[in-house]
Amino acid sequence: MDWLEFDTADCSIQKTLDVIGEKWTVLILREAFNGVRRFDQIRDHVGVSDPVLSDRLRKLVTAGVLAARPYREPGQRARKEYRLTDKGLDLYPVMISLLRWGDEHCGDTDGPPLEVLHRDCDEPVRAVVECAAGHTVSSPKEALTSPTSAATRRSVPVGD
């Protein structure tokens, strides 16, 4: 298979980045995974402006990654908090992968600033790539990418 023969407009990675591919969006997801759900708390902890935060939250809710739930503090107006949906929770391995990559390649000499441990055994949580039979795949050299019947051939190959 020649990768360049196929159209990438329908690529699942591209579609994922359309939903979560902005810096602020990933940081908002980090907050959600760490239990921060309210607009003001997210804004203050991340350092994002109100308009950008509103836009990103709206996009995540529209995409079904977050669900907005109303809440009301005594004596205050009704507000929304944002909770991960099942679709959002499916991003957990992605977030762990980003964290681990940053620990390995962008970390300080003092070590990572936080750790994620398995609640039952206190061992570090890691993301693992494996095939459906349970074999660990540690390199792209151990995998084969091939088009499915849903793939579309390009009408003009790249470079022609």
User: What tens digit of pLDDT does each residue of 35-60 get?
Assistant: 999 999 999 999 999 999 999 999 99
Give the right CATH number for 1-90 from 3.90.230.10, 1.10.150.20, 1.10.1660.10, 1.10.10.10: 1.10.10.10
pLDDT tens-place string over residues 60-89: 999 999 999 999 999 999 999 999 999 999
Residue ranges of the domains in the chain?
1-90
pLDDT for 157 equals: 60
Tokens of 85: 């949906």
Instruction: Residue 86: count other Cβ atoms within 10 Å of its Cβ.
Output: 9
pLDDT for 159 equals: 63
User: Full-prediction pTM beyond 0.75?
Assistant: yes
